[in-house]
Chain A
Amino acid sequence: MSFYGLVDGSDASLRTYLNALSGVDQIGADARASMLATRSIKTASKRWAIDMAISMVDLTTLEGADTPGKVQALCTKAVRPDPTDSTVPSVGAVCVYNDMVGVARKHLDLIGGSHVGVAAVSTAFPSGRASMPVKIQDTADALNAGASEIDMVIDRGAFLSGDYITVFNEIVQIRELCGDRAHLKVIFETGELVTYDNVRKASFLAMAAGADFIKTSTGKVAPAATAPVVLVMLEAVRDFYSMTQTRIGVKPAGGIRNTKDAIKQLVLVNETAGPAWLTPSLFRIGASALLNDLLMQRMKMDNGYYASPAYVTID
């Protein structure tokens, strides 16, 4: 693999590459994110942003209690989020554990949702604490069951101990396994990496290793997709594009529960990575409760009043 010519796969070259990154000033990054959060998005631009956000949702269920019935219900919602309004776009993908991939793919295809992807969380999600053969088998299972997107977790223990090459090699191996069959999203669990310097480092590491998307969190650890963390990741994909002419996607996940939060994310994208990233193929929002709030706000904008929650489906 060429790794965009940035590294040669050796520990030394990876360290040189990562050490060349500029630091992140935490206070400055927080200030920029909170300034962008003051953008006032109203009327036509709000309506546009709601539909864009819906199409970017990775509708997620990651519970021990997931059953085929639950997953099928989620798939139905993913294809037609509002059964009474066919102008509502489908979401980007459904996101499930690997044993539910087959169920999801089959049901989506059955109900005319072949355009909706199936993302499988992988590599011993959410902790990433397993041997590499187990992680490979985990991913292979999902791919064989029809996953079109793999959301792998990095080994945070290795990362925090400075063993970047292990993290890098794991991503490279999963990337090779995915081949042309699936997009690879790399989850950092930024709540465990803690510093913005680490978030930037992880971003550049994952991108060089072949990630198609970089993703904040599993949704199992708080804090998750905070605005400054997403800002730092969006700066990383922007700069990586300048270096390689390749656009890497970003997926915040965890903690984005309402329309206001989602629109703030879109503003961050617009004013950081730029409008080229305002597409579901380069920006996704991992969420479950968010979709219903987007639908409520959409109805409010079209009808002029808030409908009873009974008009939005629960899944």
Chain B
Amino acid sequence: MKFDYAPAPESRSIVSIKPKYGHFIDGKFVAGRKHFPAINPATEEILSQIALAGVAEVDAAVKAARKAYTITWSKMSGRERGKYLFRIARIMQERSREFAVLETLDNGKPIRESRDVDIPLAAAHFFYHAGWADKLEYAGLGTSTKPHGVAGQIIPWNFPLLMLAWKVAPALATGNTVVLKPAENTSLTALLFAEVCQQAELPAGVVNIVTGNGSTGALIVNHPGIDKIAFTGSTEVGKIIARAVAPTQKSVTLELGGKAANIIFEDAAIDEAIEGIVNGVFFNQGHVCCAGSRLILQESVADEVIEKLKRRMGLIRVGDPMDKNTDLGAINSKEQLLKIRELSATGDTEGAQRWSAPCDLPKKGFWFAPTIFTGVTQAHRIAREEIFGPVLSVLTFRTPQEAIDKANNTPFGLSAGIWSEKGSRILWASQQLRAGVIWSNTFNKFDPTSPFGGYKESGWGREGGRHGLSAYLKGVGHE
């Protein structure tokens, strides 16, 4: 019998989206001069007009941040700063449905994920760092730590609010003030967060949010009034930023791309490994820097795993991100869709076998069916370059050492997964893998207490946990 799930759409009535937004500078919303559209990637509907910050706006934001740092925030006790962070965290929880709906409309991710992952984790980051604000002396980072001052923060479009939380919460907890630029395609939840800052009565200028594109980001990176740069995004842009700040006194942390190996040993719990593969690469449409986009399979179980994986991929519900039963939403933008298509096409031309789950993709919006390539080797572009979409490259190995060698044979090193029921093998493999985050028998698990960051070209520094605090303190971080 066929069990069709009737549409179960989340209501969007809880959010009111203004037709046009400005910037949030010195505690107030100020009108922008030029604007560009915010597009719902699932429908191509124009949601709002977002302001494009230029020299004047970035300058005003940096000045406001400096003033707030000098006059209030650096003078305030950790306990008081912590109160504001707790307040922000609570308001985010109270308004979580609003945030979730807005995130899904603006980003295209399924409401199930924004509701169950993005928003609760964002609030958790504020709660966690609120707790640190008055205990910095006990973080093992020295007893006379000092904030940098004004932090310029540039975040990506894949987890808009969550990446904001990763950046803003530790910066404020350690006593820095912030100029934040959300990604061009996903500014709306950051602007709602600005409202939360007002609601929490955060002192003016402690958090400033300017919207815009790469040119705005460059203004922040190169602004002489900024002491610290924190960036999450592509390795390509990360390198530009590293070059830009190299001859300056700015401190910098970079959270860049990845091409994570998800290694399945023959003694893995296969059914749960299948879930881990799916979660690893299809979570958030594969728009995840730490996505397990290279499946490295032991040959003895390869056929079984691929057969089960294909069957499981057939169950992924692709479609309306606002439907509570949707598993895979829209690709965030047309440009990203074209990039995924282009890189996938090289998989075909270079001789890998493509298989996509049969599913009806909506006519409007940007969509890509969950796809795997088998017969992939280390020499394929799809095994080396970050696709940042729902595309999995499958490679095989014969011995544990070969798995490790293949996993490490990449300029990236953000994350890796190990699937085995044998504890000693997990410990051995995790010591060999050159990646900042290693999951065993799970994947894409995030927690504010756990430091996150990359080896090699996947980034500098860590975010989250005690280690993440050091990035916002003078003399202990990556300077």
Contact = CB atoms under 8 A, between A and B. Distances in A.
Interface of A: 22-25, 27-29, 31-32, 38-46, 48-49, 52, 235, 266-267, 270-271, 275, 278-279
B51 to A, nearest CB: 37
B2 A40 contact: no
A46 B1 contact: no
Contacts of A278: 1-3
A52 B1 contact: yes
A41 B3 CA distance: 10
Contact of A25 (B6, B116, B272): B272
Contacts of A279: 1
Contacts of B275: 28, 31-32
A229 B36 CA distance: 52
7 contacts: A22-B269, A23-B421, A25-B269, A27-B272, A28-B273, A38-B324, A40-B8
Interface string B440-458: 0110000000000000000
Residue with the greatest number of chain A CB neighbours at <10 A, chosen from B3, B6, B269: B3
A38 B325 CA distance: 8
Contacts of B273: 25, 28
A24 B270 CA distance: 8
B4 interface: yes
B272 A32 contact: yes
B47 interface: no
Nearest to B315: A271
Given A25-B441, A27-B442, A28-B275, A42 B8 contact: yes
B2 A43 contact: no
A104 B185 CA distance: 67
A48 B3 contact: yes
Chain B interface secondary structure, helix, strand, loop or mixed?
Answer: loop
Given A45-B5, A45-B6, A38 B112 contact: yes
B271 to A, nearest CB: 5
Interface string B247-270: 000000000000000000001111
A40 B4 CA distance: 11
B276 A28 contact: yes
Interface string B4-31: 1110100000000000000000000000
Residue with the greatest number of chain B CB neighbours at <10 A, chosen from A28, A29, A44, A45: A28
Nearest to B272: A28
A270 B3 contact: yes
Interface string B116-143: 1000000000000000000000000000
Given A275-B1, A278-B1, A42 B268 contact: no
Contacts of B421: 22-23, 25
Contact of A45 (B4, B267, B270): B4
A275 B268 CA distance: 27
A251 B267 CA distance: 29
A29 B270 CA distance: 11
A28 B5 contact: no
A31 B267 CA distance: 20
Contacts of A46: 6
Given A38-B324, A278-B3, 14 more contacts: A23-B269, A25-B269, A27-B272, A27-B441, A28-B275, A28-B276, A39-B5, A39-B325, A41-B6, A41-B8, A52-B3, A235-B271, A278-B2, A279-B1
Interface in B132-180: none
B307 to A, nearest CB: 8
A38 B273 CA distance: 21
A31 B271 CA distance: 12
Contact of A266 (B3, B4, B325): B3
B276 to A, nearest CB: 7
A22 B441 contact: no
A45 B7 CA distance: 9
B213 to A, nearest CB: 36
Contacts of B6: 41-46
A55 to B, nearest CB: 10
A227 to B, nearest CB: 14
Nearest to A49: B3
Contacts of B112: 38
A49 B4 CA distance: 10
A51 B309 CA distance: 32
Contacts of B8: 40-42
Nearest to A271: B315
A25 to B, nearest CB: 4
A28 B315 CA distance: 18
Nearest to A231: B271
A46 B6 CA distance: 8
Contacts of A42: 6, 8
A22 B270 contact: yes
Residue with the greatest number of chain B CB neighbours at <10 A, chosen from A25, A29, A42, A279: A25
B170 to A, nearest CB: 28
A265 B8 CA distance: 19
B30 to A, nearest CB: 41
B419 to A, nearest CB: 8
B281 to A, nearest CB: 16
Contacts of A49: 3
Contacts of A235: 271
Nearest to B8: A40
A279 B206 CA distance: 61
Contacts of B441: 25, 27-28
Residue with the greatest number of chain A CB neighbours at <10 A, chosen from B269, B276, B324, B325: B269
Given A28-B276, A45-B4, A38 B116 contact: yes
B369 to A, nearest CB: 18
A119 to B, nearest CB: 22
B322 to A, nearest CB: 12
Interface string B265-290: 00111111101100000000000000
A275 B271 contact: no
Contacts of B268: 22
A283 to B, nearest CB: 10
Contacts of A52: 1, 3
Contacts of B271: 22, 24, 28-29, 235
A278 B5 CA distance: 14
Contacts of A23: 267, 269, 421
A46 B2 CA distance: 13
A42 B9 CA distance: 10
B425 to A, nearest CB: 13
A100 B348 CA distance: 66
Contacts of B5: 39-41, 45
